[in-house]
Amino acid sequence: MLDDRYSLAFKLYPYERSADQDAAQAVRHPVIVVGGGPIGVATALDLGLQGIPVVVLDDHEGIGQGSRAICFAKRSLEIADRYGAAGPMLDKGVVWNLGKVFHEDRKVFEFNLLPESGHRFPAFINLQQPYFERFLVERLRELQADGAPIEIRGRNSVQSVEFHDDHVRLQIDTPEGPYTLEADWLIGCDGAGSPLRTMMGLDFDGRVFQDSFLIADITMKADFPTERWFWFEPSHKAGASTLLHKQPDGVWRVDFQIGWDVDRKVELKEENVRKRLDAMLGPDVEYELVWTSIYTFQCRRMKKFRHGRVLFAGDSAHQVSPFGARGANSGMQDVDNLGWKLGMVIRGEAPDALLDSYCAERRHGADENILNSTRATDFITPKSKISHIFRNAVLDLAERFEFARPLVNSGRLSVPCVYDGLPLNGPDALTGGPARTRVGSPCPDAPLGDGFLLPRLGKGFTLLTIDVEAAETIEADGVIATRVALRASDDTTGALAERYLGTAASAVYLIRPDQHVAARWESFDAAAVQDALRIACGKG
Amino acid sequence: MTLQTKPNIADADGFYADLIAAHDGLSEDESAAFNARLILILANQIGDRAVLDAALEAAQARR
């Protein structure tokens, strides 16, 4: 039961015998995470930074090969920055702004992401998933060295799970035989094929897309610009659509849409992959193949992300098409959402019901991501003749008329969702306040002199005040919000005022540990903040 | 009034999805008839002959 499902890019957590394996009785841990991928390791970082002991179990000994997720959004970097892991990602990642769209080889139009200034992180970086994971594991090792109570155990494969009211019991296989562990809380981060979800017999329903995509990562001598190029119906016929995207190390991702009825083995033969690449690149371009893979996908999610003491995060809970980079990015938002809530429940600061809001909020996010990625997929791979006719009419018109360009959909790139109308939200009482910072929104970054706003938020609850007096701390039932006092003039570019004041003269924001807005007002009222704080902790 | 060629539809993705969904289950002839009815309804909404003439021109196939 310890078969390799994939080969490793980095062997970062080789099997080591744990004292738990020699214990007379099953050892109980506060939190066990199943799956050492990006979402599992990020979960461990979030909890470990709160001082909560966490054990990550992975059935392999490191990070799987293959670039896989390559597009990491600003919000993921901001979350990783909260964990102290974003620096190396930013250093290694490729930043791109220009995208070009082609139809039958003609350029239809190009777009610039036109990044808004005054953010620490770019809208996106392209980075092979193994690097993203490695930087998270390296950060985990740093925290361990500083004494954080995090463990990661390679070659620990969960074989069965037994459920009790106040804990779960796991049978685990290792190269040295089985052992048993118990956990107060179990987090399933074991991917789209989640063995844990299967063991629990839980649903995972959605829509299958009848198309396959062939990925070829290549290195080229040719000098292509750092841009995202997307072809609809290219004349080279190597794919019904084709995407070219730059990654670090001089690697290009080429993604060919190759139809549903394909023989994977035949298509993945090097000579056949090369035929497609030659057709696309022309005969004179030299390149080397780094990695190839064929994928199909579904858009689906679990009905509930929480099942008693078990919580699911990332692909194990929801799966989307890759168009729009909403897979790993939404998983990072799951972690961001779950970490502080689980921490508060474990510390006894919030009721168990707070964890139900994890399901409500992230299901809302998953639905938004599934909607967006489904629309992109339907545009890229039209399912009926009339839908194909409309698609091509849009591309035709987009070349000449600006109005049609917003209809061209080769993936709406991942932005974090706003938890509009959900139960943890307090009053949105800032008249004239900007829509983008309404209650439920993730806080947008803003420059503050030599630094930025977001690093000052996210350590517990924050009371952000702009041009208004307030108490330095506010407490409600043992939960404390700490003030960050700013003046609009702290940011001479005006971005802070534009993003947080709008036309209001002053503002008070209650901000959750995941940097989402819990409530906002024009002036400070201690009782109102206390009420909002209770609501945000699931005591409303 | 002149022909609007700048983006003018709020939630363009949502509109497009609804437009395509409106054809679900229709035969090709039924789809063509649906489109004809839709165009006539929208044309009446526009009303302005100069704008309609410009739209007829804009919709000509690219050469």
* Among candidate residues A323, A346, A368, the one where a domain is terminated: A368
Q: How many angstroms separate the CA atoms of A238 and A241, rounded? A: 8
Q: Quick: pLDDT tens for A251-278.
A: 999 999 999 999 999 999 999 999 999 9
Q: Per-residue confidence at A113, pLDDT binned at 50, 70, 90?
A: confident
Structural domain includes residue A225: no
Q: How many domains does chain B have?
A: 1
Structural domain includes residue B46: yes
Residue A313 has pLDDT above 80, yes or no: yes
Structural domain includes residue B3: no
Q: Are A354 and A454 contained in the same domain?
A: no
Nearest to A366 by CA among A316, A406, A441: A316
Q: How many domains does chain A have?
A: 2
Domain assignment of residue A151, given as a range? 8-93+124-203+300-368
A-chain CB neighbours of B26 within 8 Å are 386
Name the closest residue on chain B to residue A385, using Cα atoms: B28
Percent with pLDDT over 70 in chain A: 100
Q: Per-residue confidence at A209, pLDDT binned at 50, 70, 90?
A: confident
User: Could you identify the residue written with the tokens 């298509």?
Assistant: A267
Structural domain includes residue A307: yes
Q: Quick: pLDDT tens for A317-350.
A: 999 888 888 999 999 999 999 999 999 999 999 9
Are the beta carbons of A386 and B26 separated by less than 8 Å?
yes
Question: What number is the average pLDDT over the span A212-241?
Answer: 90
Are the beta carbons of A409 and B13 separated by less than 8 Å?
yes
* Mean model confidence pLDDT for chain B: 95
* Among candidate residues A353, A368, A383, the one where a domain is terminated: A368
Structural domain includes residue B7: no
Q: Supply angle C-alpha A38, A443, B13, rounded to 5.
A: 80
pLDDT attached to residue A229? 92
Q: Are A26 and A136 contained in the same domain?
A: yes
* A–B CB contacts, 8 A cutoff, strictly below: 50
For an interface test with B, give the residue of A403, A413, A415 to mutate (most B CBs within 10 A).
A403
pLDDT attached to residue B63? 59
Task: Identify each DSSP E strand in A354-394 by its residue range.
Answer: none
* Biggest distance spanned by C-alpha atoms of chain A: 75
Q: Are A72 and A165 contained in the same domain?
A: yes
Query: B19 CA to chain A: closest CA distance, Å?
Result: 9
Structural domain includes residue A470: yes
Q: Per-residue confidence at A86, pLDDT binned at 50, 70, 90?
A: very high
Q: How many angstroms separate the CA atoms of B63 and B59, rounded? A: 12
Helix then strand then coil, in percent of chain A rounded to 5, is: 30, 30, 40
Residue A200 has pLDDT above 70, yes or no: yes
pLDDT attached to residue A150? 98
Structural domain includes residue A143: yes
Name the closest residue on chain A to residue B10, using Cα atoms: A406
Are the beta carbons of B16 and A409 separated by less than 8 Å?
yes
Edge-to-edge strand ranges of the sheet holding A98-103: A106-112, A98-103, A228-232, A241-247, A251-259, A205-220, A287-301, A318-319
* Among candidate residues A368, A395, A418, the one where a domain is terminated: A368
Residue A1 has pLDDT above 60, yes or no: no
Q: Quick: pLDDT tens for A400-431.
A: 999 999 999 998 888 899 999 999 999 999 99
Q: Are A169 and A79 contained in the same domain?
A: yes
Structural domain includes residue A519: yes
Are the beta carbons of A386 and B6 separated by less than 8 Å?
no
Q: Are A361 and A469 contained in the same domain?
A: no
pLDDT attached to residue A221? 77
Domain assignment of residue B39, given as a range? 12-58
pLDDT attached to residue A282? 86
Out of A386, A396, A407, whose CB is closest to B16? A407
Out of A403, A407, A412, whose CB is closest to B5? A403
Structural domain includes residue A261: no
ipTM rounded to 2 decimals? 0.95
Q: Are A473 and A335 contained in the same domain?
A: no
Are the beta carbons of A375 and B16 separated by less than 8 Å?
yes
Residue B29 has pLDDT above 60, yes or no: yes
Are the beta carbons of B17 and A378 separated by less than 8 Å?
yes
Are the C-beta atoms of A537 and A350 separated by less than 8 Å?
yes
Question: What number is the average pLDDT over the span B12-27?
Answer: 96
A-chain CB neighbours of B4 within 8 Å are 403
Sequence-distant (6+) residues with CB within 8 A of A79 are: A42, A332, A333, A335, A336
* Mean model confidence pLDDT for chain A: 95
pLDDT attached to residue A213? 93
Are the beta carbons of A390 and B20 separated by less than 8 Å?
yes
Q: Are A446 and A316 contained in the same domain?
A: no
Q: Are A186 and A76 contained in the same domain?
A: yes
B-chain CB neighbours of A409 within 8 Å are 13, 16
Give me the CATH number covering residue A147.
3.50.50.60
Nearest to A153 by CA among A175, A134, A131, A132: A175
Structural domain includes residue A419: no
Question: What number is the average pLDDT over the span A194-206?
Answer: 94
Q: Per-residue confidence at A466, pLDDT binned at 50, 70, 90?
A: very high
Structural domain includes residue A527: yes
Question: What number is the average pLDDT over the span A478-493?
Answer: 97
Q: Quick: pLDDT tens for A150-163.
A: 999 999 999 999 99
